[in-house]
């Protein structure tokens, strides 16, 4: 059975997940921010987080590498 994007995300080590969510680029703040209220999506085989900047609330997208 194929895993959902959420399941793939949850299968990543927590330390790595925290490192990813804490290093998202916000184009409004112009620096690295923490993403909040994010959803996990799969696009062209890559895992992506789509959420908001914790500081200004702008939309933030982060590719999981």
Binding residues for Zn ion, rule: CB under 5 A, are 26, 28-29, 53, 55-56, 58
Nearest distance, CB of residue 36 and Zn ion, angstroms: 11
Nearest distance, CB of residue 1 and Zn ion, angstroms: 37
User: Which residue, 41 or 54, is less far from Zn ion as judged by CB?
Assistant: 54
User: Which residue, 4 or 28, is less far from Zn ion as judged by CB?
Assistant: 28
Which string of DSSP letters, residue by residue, matches the chain? -PPPHHHHHHTS-HHHHHHHHTSEEETTTTEEE-EEEEEEEEETTEEEEEEEETTT--EEEEEE-
């Amino acid at each position: 059975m194929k895993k959902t994007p959420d399941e793939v995300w949850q299968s990543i080590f927590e330390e790595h997940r925290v490192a990813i969510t804490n290093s998202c680029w916000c184009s409004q703040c112009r620096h690295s921010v923490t993403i909040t209220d994010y959803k996990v999506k799969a696009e062209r085989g890559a895992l992506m987080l789509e959420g908001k900047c914790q500081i200004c609330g702008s939309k933030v997208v982060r590719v999981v590498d």
